[in-house]
Amino acid sequence: MAKSHNNAKLNEPRMPLIQNEEMQEEWLNNELNMVNVIALIQPLSSKKLIAHPVGPLKGKNAIGNKPNATHEVKYAVLERGEQLNLV
């Protein structure tokens, strides 16, 4: 996932911050100190994450940035056990 979120201008990879609903309200608090910020950016358990392929947000065949953009999409190459190229 780091590869798809990298910024060429930065020396290190970026990663999205995934939080549960309880943490979101606290994250938006403008008065957080560094200790609170670090407590909120701990890794989420991989047991809570579910990965599946989705369709493109941009381009000719894209559905756009809509709620159903996160729905699983079946790709024939993946069904055959092949890898998709993210680039």
- Amino acid 34: pLDDT: 92
pTM, two decimal places: 0.44
Q: How far apart are CA 39 and CA 80, in angstroms?
A: 42
pLDDT of 70 higher than 80 = yes
- pLDDT (tens digit per residue) in 15-51: 778 887 888 888 898 899 999 998 888 877 778 777 8
Amino acid at 83: Q
